[in-house]
Structure 1
Amino acid sequence: MSGGFGRYLGAALAARFASEGMGMAVVLLALERTGSAAHGAFVLTAWLAPHVLAAPLAGAAAARTRRPRLFHAGALAGFTVATAALAVLLGRAPWPAVLAVAVLGGTCGPMVTGGLSSLVASLVPEGPGRDRAYGWDASTYNAAAVTAPAAVGTITALASAGPAMALLTTSGALAALLAATLPYEDPGAARPQDGPRAGLGAGLAALWRVRELRAVTSATTLAFVGVGALTTGSVLLAAELGSPGAGGVLMTAFAVGALTGSLTLGRITSVAPGRLARWAMAGTGAALAAAAFTPSVPVTAALFAVAGVCDGPLLTATLRIRSRYAPDGLRAQVFTLGAGLKLTAASAGAALVGLTAAAPAWTLLLGIAALQLAAATLHLLVGARGPVREPVTGMSAGSPTGVSGRGTPGAP
């Protein structure tokens, strides 16, 4: 891997660490300063709500910008400034001002997820090396999901939520600094102004028209309805098993398993990414279904870990499919839109499990498992229609500029 990709991984891990820690840190800070965790939930909702709306705008802007270094570093800086502002204002300033800051920070969210991942193709040449690079990229999500909540919880317990927010702000600032050093420019590529500019709806159209993109986007969006319900479902299941505080143990087991899966199964390049995605969703569903019938927390945690291992390669496979089949000039839109749709689906899942929380916890977990199995089936059905499409090559596969044309595949 190149030095540029190493710096990219540092930026991605730091940015996603800050992002993953926000949910817990905001709620804990609100509880500490106002006595109500509900205030933190409202701020978090304002933070998450703009993601799906901002995704096409962010993707289109990333594809059109003449200064990609300034754009990406600036988006991460905006994310960081909003985090710092919330750390100062939450519980002290009028609520409209706090919510406005959260909305503005949330608009930068798509660049932390799909926006950053869209850069991998410009840093690593096409081939098995790029597939492995997406495995490493996926592992930054999983590593952040494991470490950020633990760090926030530990710092809050030892000191307060303020220093925890400061840690997230520092991590975001580090991400912005590292992003400013990445080699965005492709010396052999045309500049964005030299090529046709894609409209805001072009990315969404590509997700629908390109069969491989349609299959993975529809399937993972359905799967993430279940993923969004899993946190609350695990808490309810742990309580049903006689250990109300063990919900965090179950989710930690899932996150650690996902990190393990992304670093092992996610690095397999001999299996087609579509097939890897299907087996990942099917395996996750099967393990969660088994966990619904276990008699104790330790056995349930073990099955949650197995489910995480199965889930780990799903993101890697998804990133590989997006990179391989995104049309010329639409890579950033495809990545940011895909991430935004999944996040929105997860939010819907969290709301649905809240409405059905009175049901037996094992039935909720079975429902979550059924969504994973349904998603695998949906991918098989959608992906099986029509002739196999050749992957997109040339400039769209290796350049963040989004200019249509053909050049050296994977040019740095």
Structure 2
Amino acid sequence: MAARTGDEMSGPALLLAGLALSGSPVPGSWLLAGLTASAAVGGPLLGALLDRAGRPGRMVGWCLLGYTAGLLAVLLGLGRLPDAALVAVAALAGLLGPALTGGWTSQLPLVVPPDRLARANALDAISYNVAGLVGPAAVAAVAAATSGQTAVLVSAALLLAAVPPAWTLPPRRPTPAPGNATASDATATDGAASDGAATDDTTTTGAAAGGTAAGGAALRRELAAGFGAIARNASLRRATATSMVSFCGVAVLVVGTPLLGAELTGEASYGALLLAVTAAAALAANTAAARLRRWEPRPDTVLAGSTLLLGAAMALAAGVAHTGGPFALAVLAAALAGAAEGPQLTALLAVRHREAPPRLRGQIFTTGASLKITSYAGGAALAGPLAAYDLGAALLAGAMLQALAAGVYRLLSRPSGRLREPSGTSAAG
């Protein structure tokens, strides 16, 4: 929870710090884009390494330390170093960002039995919502009392507090290879099946233990297997593509909300409070869904419906920006956005848990997270200049991206073979 709260604080805190020092949303939005753009590179690699690691929690701990160091370096350089240099530092830190999201979630099977995984997934999604609620609210409170720079420090402290729990996550449980495993399955089985021992992959290929070339070849095969699991499985492919387009629009909402609060009230901190309203609504929606035992819609259906609702919420926010108020309508738009975001995330995680082959779970979660984060970076990079020109137009563009995401979902739902492949098929690997 500490890591996710610190992560949720880091983006708004950087936005407010950049806005305070420059008076423009552009530097802050570019820092946010730099922090998230490199996730496309870091996510798949981190996922492969997590799948190979005997103690994946320790790798998550090192990633937390590196991400924190990057945030502090950006903070120290604000107002002292060129913006381009700070964006580069943020991009280096962003390589580790997927470990703070998908990296944690992919470790659920290590701490809960299979029959409790569905409930654990729902609680895990709720923890994202709680962090999304506490993070922006904490940024608003700290920024109002002190400054955006102090909010960055608080974010870093929370990230550091999460290192000891990550370090003590249990080791990966040995997974004996099935008797009818194919050669490709044996190759895809990662070395994390034994705590620090040589990988099955290395054994299968006959490579020399510890050989650099063999290790690199094995890692490349595992990276290809992770992408293949998403590309070849219809449900994973559809959910990933839909969430990428949708999250690009969510970045517009995150960048535009502080500006909307500032325009309507004269205080940018009210924008962070609007983000807290969004997170509170997401938490409430997920909590209510968790209590509905009699009606459990397919996560794929929830993913599509929540994306449409998110688009409607952003369209309402755009209308508020164009008309200049009232602030109560901005609160309503934020609440509707949260009521969509919460179930959308839960549905996405449920699809990944349902479809991911166990041997590729870490890669699928971190690769999926990295693709979303990178899409978010693109949205953040465009949102700053567009919001500076016309905030209402920026929010309307975000709403249109949600409509596009719903269209992508519909397009990828057209029959073209099986909708869902069994999670254990070799095609996924």
- What code does the residue aligned with 2:114 have? E
Question: TM-score, length-normalised on structure 2?
Answer: 0.76
Secondary structure of the structure 2 residue equivalent to 1:185: coil
Q: Deviations over 1:36-67 (max 9, x none)?
A: 88665554443323211111111111112243
Q: Which runs of structure 2 are paired with 1:2-401 in the superposition (5 Å)?
A: 13-29=1-17, 43-88=31-76, 90-91=78-79, 101-127=89-115, 129-161=116-148, 163-189=150-176, 190-191=193-194, 193-196=198-201, 197=218, 198-234=221-257, 243=265, 245=267, 247-265=271-289, 270-290=296-316, 292=318, 296-354=326-384, 356-357=386-387, 364-385=394-415, 386-392=417-423
- What code does the residue aligned with 2:7 have? S
For the residues of structure 2 that align with 1:367 and 1:34, how far apart are their CA atoms? 25
Secondary structure of the structure 1 residue equivalent to 2:357: coil
- What code does the residue aligned with 2:233 have? V
Secondary structure of the structure 1 residue equivalent to 2:370: helix
For the residues of structure 2 that align with 1:51 and 1:327, how far apart are their CA atoms? 22
Deviates more, 1:271-280 or 1:301-310: 301-310
How many positions carry a matched residue from both structures?
383
For the residues of structure 1 that align with 2:41 and 2:23, how far apart are their CA atoms? 32
For the residues of structure 2 that align with 1:237 and 1:17, how far apart are their CA atoms? 23
Secondary structure of the structure 2 residue equivalent to 1:201: helix
Asked if 2 retains the 8 angstrom alpha-carbon contact of 1:121 and 1:323, the reply is no
Secondary structure of the structure 2 residue equivalent to 1:62: helix
Q: Offset of 1:268 from its aligned partner?
A: 5.5
The 1:117–1:162 alpha-carbon spacing in structure 2 relative to 1, beyond 3 Å, is same
- What code does the residue aligned with 2:376 have? A
Q: Deviations over 1:162-190 (max 9, x none)?
A: 54333222211221110111123214553
For the residues of structure 2 that align with 1:273 and 1:378, how far apart are their CA atoms? 16
Which residue of structure 2 lines up, in the alignment, with residue 409 of structure 1? Answer: none
For the residues of structure 2 that align with 1:359 and 1:383, how far apart are their CA atoms? 37
For the residues of structure 2 that align with 1:98 and 1:235, how far apart are their CA atoms? 22
CA-atom RMSD, angstroms?
Answer: 3.5
Q: Offset of 1:119 from its aligned partner?
A: 1.0
Q: Deviations over 1:248-295 (max 9, x none)?
A: 454333222122223222665722211121121122233444555566
Secondary structure of the structure 1 residue equivalent to 2:68: helix
- What code does the residue aligned with 1:254 have? T
For the residues of structure 2 that align with 1:249 and 1:83, how far apart are their CA atoms? 22
Asked if 1 retains the 8 angstrom alpha-carbon contact of 2:38 and 2:374, the reply is no
Asked if 1 retains the 8 angstrom alpha-carbon contact of 2:253 and 2:314, the reply is no
Asked if 2 retains the 8 angstrom alpha-carbon contact of 1:249 and 1:301, the reply is no
Q: Deviations over 1:64-108 (max 9, x none)?
A: 224323222222222233334445555567878756643432221
Which residue of structure 1 lines up, in the alignment, with residue 187 of structure 2? Answer: none
Q: Deviations over 1:117-152 (max 9, x none)?
A: 11113322334x322222222222222222223323
Asked if 1 retains the 8 angstrom alpha-carbon contact of 2:46 and 2:99, the reply is yes
Secondary structure of the structure 1 residue equivalent to 2:128: helix
Secondary structure of the structure 1 residue equivalent to 2:168: coil
The 1:276–1:235 alpha-carbon spacing in structure 2 relative to 1, beyond 3 Å, is same
Asked if 1 retains the 8 angstrom alpha-carbon contact of 2:67 and 2:96, the reply is yes
Secondary structure of the structure 1 residue equivalent to 2:152: helix
For the residues of structure 1 that align with 2:76 and 2:330, how far apart are their CA atoms? 40
The 1:326–1:193 alpha-carbon spacing in structure 2 relative to 1, beyond 3 Å, is farther
The 1:309–1:266 alpha-carbon spacing in structure 2 relative to 1, beyond 3 Å, is farther
For the residues of structure 1 that align with 2:170 and 2:148, how far apart are their CA atoms? 36
Q: Offset of 1:215 from its aligned partner?
A: 0.5
The 1:100–1:141 alpha-carbon spacing in structure 2 relative to 1, beyond 3 Å, is same
Which residue of structure 2 lines up, in the alignment, with residue 410 of structure 1? Answer: none
For the residues of structure 2 that align with 1:98 and 1:123, how far apart are their CA atoms? 38
- What code does the residue aligned with 1:152 have? V
Q: Offset of 1:220 from its aligned partner?
A: 0.8
Deviates more, 1:227-236 or 1:168-177: 227-236
Q: Offset of 1:211 from its aligned partner?
A: 0.3
Asked if 2 retains the 8 angstrom alpha-carbon contact of 1:324 and 1:391, the reply is no
Secondary structure of the structure 2 residue equivalent to 1:264: helix
Asked if 1 retains the 8 angstrom alpha-carbon contact of 2:314 and 2:399, the reply is yes
The 1:95–1:393 alpha-carbon spacing in structure 2 relative to 1, beyond 3 Å, is same
Q: Offset of 1:299 from its aligned partner?
A: 2.9
Deviates more, 1:255-264 or 1:334-343: 255-264
For the residues of structure 1 that align with 2:408 and 2:175, how far apart are their CA atoms? 40
